[in-house]
A and B are shown apart, each in its own frame.
Chain A
Amino acid sequence: MCLLALNLSAQHNHDGHDHDGHDHSGHSHDDHGHSHDTHHTLGCGLHSAHGGEFDPGATAFHHIADANIYSIGPFGIPLPCIPFVPGEGFDFFLSSKFHYDGHGTGSNAYNRFVLDGGTMKRITDESFPDGLVEGVEVGHDDEGHTAVCYNNKLYPVDKKSTADGGIFGGGITSWYDFSMTKNVMSMIIVFLIFFFIFRAIAKRYKQRPDKAPSGIQGLIEPIFVFIQDEVAKPFLGKHYLKYLPFLMSLFFFILGLNLWGQIPFLGGSNVTGNLAFTAVLAIFAFFVVNLSGNKHYWEHIFNMPGVPGWVKIILTPVEALGLFIKPITLALRLFANITAGHMVIIIFVSFIFIFGNNGASKVGAYGAALPTVLLTMFMMAIELLVAFIQAFVFTILTTSYLSAAIDEGHEHEGAH
């Protein structure tokens, strides 16, 4: 979060996407050879996203963001775009309509949507023609806002609506984006991988019960048994089997997406480092926990037994707030850990471009390469650990909340 603050305070142009490895291998690198000395200027006084000084913060933000393109190695695979405009309904088209470049910035507009750095934006001006419009320039004005220049006329754009209520700079705009983005695709891929793996494993357990595990079964079983025996059973006792599917789904989905996001050159999608995803998991955890809550649990929240009345006045609001704070911390913890890890790696890689003066100093670039590679390797090892730890932490905390909700209160009567 310090990095975030640092980068928010430093206002920079987005530039110099010349880092390797991170889902941007598809850049047309010819552009970059000279991008450090000339500011790309577009029509209508707009600036290209790719000019000026190299900004590692902006680079990091761009790379952890969701996108309407799936970049694997040099290929930018188009994805389905499903925007929803209130009053106009849903639209459906592939992002290839935008005719995007290596940075994910499109030279076409489609139904008044444009692609800016891999993200869809909507031209608000009603006078802009519908359908496919070629020769559109997407850039940033002097204040840094994205705008579109077409036929020497400047059109402002709207970002998609977000559910943060404006707290984090988002809010409700003129349209909603239900596109199957890179993150959505990653979720579906991870879901399918696990679906086939676990279907095969479950079949194996059924076909040859009471036999020693073999193959993929032997790889997954220790992890499964670890979560079952170290998390589910100690907290939930005899109820563990009832909640096992939910807890295992949380653990394996988070773990799978954490690991999927760490595979280099495979899109580097950042699903578990996106607050939308972690919030959804936290909301599910919230409902599973509170819908399982027994009389004993609610009594401890709203009418703590054995506590004087005046303490209850303080305690009850605190406990009630705790109901919501618990899932919020779940969502923020996972989001912050994964995002921070990804950003640190991107910043480390950025050292090459910082010391190399964005391509001007080969000595600086080569000099920075070795320590950067070592630091990145170290960080990636840590991230691998974090992938497991955060999946485990999310699961064990959810289980502990669940345990409090279904606890009959007999086991530790003396503790209260």
Chain B
Amino acid sequence: MMFALADFSVITPDFGLLFWSALVFILFWFLIGKFAFKAIGEALRDREQNIQEALDAAEKAKAEMANLQAENDRLLAEAREEKAKILKEAKEAGNTIVADAKTKAKDEANKLLSNARVEIDNQKKAALQEVSNEVGNMALEIAEKVIKKELASSKDHQTLVNKLVEEIKLN
């Protein structure tokens, strides 16, 4: 037989080591396992979830940003269109107003002009009438004076004078 020192003792499980191994492993399992490993496992799980959520939120924010950008672009384009439309309309309105004003002014001017013409005609006619009347009267007076001197009232003369006056009036 071999000497006791040379025993391959590691293969013969002695009761003390069985007992202490079990005790220390249970301590390890319950103290470190329950309080540290479980806590670390949960912390890692939570962190994983948080990271996933953060990534998802970032993705969502990115999509939202893209949406917002598109919306902005659309609004901007719309605004531009609106502006152009308004400008065009304003221009048109302005043109119309100017044209209207021009027409109106022209009409007014024409009206004024024609009025003036009518007035002038009228005044001219009145003046001529007056002049002819005046001239008639003056002629009559002249004639009267002439006739008074030379002739008594003669019908022929009267008629002649009237005829003359008529002719003058016609002129």
- The residues of A with any CB-CB pair to B shorter than 8 Å are 4, 7-8, 11-14, 49, 55, 57-58, 61-62, 64-66, 82, 116-117, 119, 121, 140, 143-146, 159-164, 168-170, 176-181, 183-184, 187-188, 191, 194-195, 198-199, 201-202, 205-206, 209-210, 221, 224-225, 228, 240-241, 244-246, 248-249, 252-253, 270-271, 273-277, 279-281, 283-284, 335, 339
Instruction: List 6 tightest A-B contacts by C-beta distance, closest first.
Output: A245-B33, A276-B13, A170-B12, A58-B6, A198-B36, A205-B43
Q: Is the CB of A66 within 8 A of B27?
A: no
For A8, A57, A143, A144, the residue with the greatest tally of chain B CB atoms inside 10 Å of its CB is: A144
Cβ contacts under 8 Å, A277 to chain B = 17, 21
Q: Which of B21, B32, B34, B36 makes the CB contact (< 8 A) with A276?
A: B21
A210 to chain B, nearest CB (A): 5
A310 to chain B, nearest CB (A): 39
Once bound together, how far apart are the Cα atoms of A273 and B40, in whole Å?
29
Q: Is the CB of A245 within 8 A of B21?
A: no
B35-69, CB under 8 A of A: which get 1 and which 0?
A: 11111111111110011000000000000000000
Q: Is B22 an interface residue (CB 8 A)?
A: yes
Q: Is B167 an interface residue (CB 8 A)?
A: no
Q: Is the CB of A58 within 8 A of B12?
A: no
Q: Is the CB of A241 within 8 A of B41?
A: yes
Q: Is the CB of A176 within 8 A of B4?
A: no
Q: Which of B9, B31, B32, B40 makes the CB contact (< 8 A) with A119?
A: B9
Once bound together, how far apart are the Cα atoms of A222 and B33, in whole Å?
17
Once bound together, how far apart are the Cα atoms of A42 and B171, in whole Å?
187
Q: Which of B5, B11, B45, B46 makes the CB contact (< 8 A) with A49?
A: B5
Q: Is the CB of A184 within 8 A of B36?
A: no
Cβ contacts under 8 Å, A274 to chain B = 10, 13, 17
Q: How many residues of B contact A (CB 8 A)?
A: 46
Cβ contacts under 8 Å, A240 to chain B = 41
Q: Is the CB of A249 within 8 A of B28?
A: yes
Once bound together, how far apart are the Cα atoms of A188 and B23, in whole Å?
10
Query: Residue on A with the closest CB to B22?
Result: A280
Cβ contacts under 8 Å, A283 to chain B = 22
Q: Is the CB of A177 within 8 A of B15?
A: yes
Q: Is the CB of B7 within 8 A of A61?
A: yes
Q: Which of A164, A170, A244, A276 makes the CB contact (< 8 A) with B37?
A: A244
* 11 contacting pairs across A/B (C-beta < 8 A): A7-B6, A61-B8, A65-B10, A82-B16, A116-B4, A160-B16, A195-B32, A202-B43, A246-B29, A253-B25, A276-B21
Beyond A66-B9, A199-B36, A206-B39, is A276–B18 a contact (Cβ under 8 Å)?
yes
Beyond A177-B16, A178-B16, A202-B39, is A249–B32 a contact (Cβ under 8 Å)?
yes
Q: Is B1 an interface residue (CB 8 A)?
A: yes
Cβ contacts under 8 Å, B16 to chain A = 82, 160, 176-179, 181, 184
Once bound together, how far apart are the Cα atoms of A240 and B48, in whole Å?
15
Q: Which of A14, A241, A249, A281 makes the CB contact (< 8 A) with B5?
A: A14
Extra inter-chain contacts (15) besides given A221-B44, A245-B37, CB under 8 Å: A12-B2, A58-B5, A61-B9, A66-B9, A140-B4, A159-B4, A162-B14, A170-B14, A176-B14, A198-B36, A225-B44, A244-B37, A249-B25, A252-B28, A276-B17
B35 to chain A, nearest CB (A): 7
Q: Is the CB of B3 within 8 A of A198?
A: no
Q: Which of B10, B15, B25, B41 makes the CB contact (< 8 A) with A228?
A: B41
